[in-house]
Amino acid sequence: MDLFPLKLGVPVKILGKPDLKSHDARRAQSSPHLKVSLGYLDTIFDYLAEHGIHMYRMSSDLAPYATHPDMPMFHSMVQESASELAAIGAKARHLGLRLSFHPSQFIVLNSPDAELVRKSVWDLTSQCEMLDAMELGPEAVVVVHVGGVYGDKEASRARWVETWPTLPEPVRRRLVLENDDLRFSCADVVWISEHTGVRLIFDHQHFWCFNPELLPMRQAVAQMLGTWPDGVRPKVHFSSPRTEMRQLTRKDRKTGKATTVPMAPVWTGHADFVNPFEFATFMRTAAGLEFDVMLEAKMKDLALVRLRPDLIRYAPDVAERFGLVPALQDKLDAEEASLMAVEPA
């Protein structure tokens, strides 16, 4: 396990170079394929290496239609892409790039609907098979939320625990569970982990939005990081809440026409960039704990390249944990200025 430096990561879409595609998004009639997605991924890896980004969340649509129940012609694409997956995995290891998946909210393991759970397990199995075919280590994970409450939170937690031993071995080995901002708190996922052994992801913004047990942050982070085995560095999610007014389109009751109205922000919304002072405060609260950080700001890689020089400038003690030293200030400022000149798609 690398003890230093910690890694910062970004999810899916690259905004500093908008022409880069995260996956083959063609419709089924055009025969999209995982092999095409992996070609796009290879180019993204080059961009990440150029800009010193060492953690990346791949698109959950990397293998298009691979688990679509009505399109069996796509079901074997992961197996068909074995050599390409091995090659892209070797490149990731060579670059020191930590990879993960985070499937959509439609992946639910605690639903009372057994068919929905079955489909969810199929999706998770496919993504874990890709990580295995890439020959990635145990740090490469698939992140999920607990799911719905369905009118009974305790019963819903218990159903997740009951589903766990039925999961295929690659899924149990790769799956990690995250606290959310509305239903299942850090305390809830710790309870699930105690009954299953599933590893946990601490989400900073979710913690502030939903912590009914009033757990101290340091305690929550330490408990959740403690679910990871020795030799495998945990990771956390970080984002700042959006503070700007929202512009929503509403129908005018009098005229029947669509009109744009300003609305106050909701604190579950993610900001475009990361507030460096909030980030530094969090990292100091968690001082002495080792973990990588996936940034979930809306501006993705642009938010990361903005945060790095901000940390050197405002929080050099925190910057140092990510291998960011004052000698890099001018280079990182220039990189930020160059990428911010790119207009995101």
For residues 260 and 98, give the distance between their C-alpha atoms in angstroms, rounded to a whole number. Answer: 41
pTM of the model: 0.93
pLDDT of residue 342: 61
Tens digit of each residue's pLDDT (9 = 90 or more) over 78-128: 999 999 999 999 999 999 999 999 998 889 999 999 999 999 999 999 999
Do 13 and 22 touch, CB atoms closer than 8 A? yes
Q: Which helix (H) or strand (E) holds 261?
A: strand 258-263
Largest Cα–Cα separation, the chain: 64
Q: Which of 151, 152, 145, 155 is nearest to 185 (CA)?
A: 145
Residue 72 lies in a domain: yes
Per-residue confidence (pLDDT) for residue 248, from 0 to 100: 86
**Buried-exposed string 111-126: b where 16+ CB fall within 10 A, e elsewhere:** beeeebbebbbbbbbb
The pLDDT value recorded for residue 18 is 92
Mean pLDDT for the chain?
Answer: 94
- Residue with the larger pLDDT of the pair 197 and 268: 197
CATH (domain of 13): 3.20.20.150
Residue 132, pLDDT > 70, answer yes
Mean pLDDT for 290-303 is 97
Q: What is the pLDDT of residue 213?
A: 97
d(CA 274, CA 304): 8
Residue 343 pLDDT exceeds 60: no
The pLDDT score that the predictor gives to residue 123 is 96
Per-residue model confidence (pLDDT) at position 4: 65
3 in any annotated domain: no
Whether 177 maps to a domain, the answer reads yes
Fill in the DSSP letter of residue 71: -
| Element spanning 269, H or E | none
> Does residue 167 belong to any structural domain of this protein?
yes
Does 99 fall in a domain? Answer: yes
**Residue-wise pLDDT tens digits, 143-167:** 999 999 999 999 999 999 999 999 9
Nearest Cα to Cα of residue 101 among 34, 174, 151, 52: 174
* Residue 1 predicted with pLDDT over 60: no
Residue 345, pLDDT above cutoff 50: no
Domain assignment of residue 345, yes or no: no
Higher per-residue pLDDT: 249 or 87: 87
Task: Please give the tally of structural domains in the chain.
Answer: 1
For residue 101, tell me if it sits in a domain.
yes
* Averaged pLDDT, 58-72: 95
b/e burial code for range 210-225 (CB count within 10 A of at least 16 → b): bbeeebebeebbebbb
How does DSSP classify residue 251? E
pLDDT reading at 344 higher than 80 = no
Domain of residue 283, residue span: 8-340
DSSP string, 110-166: S-S-HHHHHHHHHHHHHHHHHHHHTT--TT-EEEEE----TT-HHHHHHHHHHHGGG
Instruction: Find tokens 């679910």 and name the residue.
Output: 227
66 touches 107 (CB < 8 A): no
Measured distance CA(106)–CA(231) in Å, rounded: 32
Please state the φ and ψ torsions of residue 255, each to the nearest 5 degrees.
Answer: -95, -20
Report if residue 2 sits inside a domain: no
Specify the pairing of strand 246-251 against strand 258-263. Answer: antiparallel
Percentage with pLDDT > 90 across the chain: 85
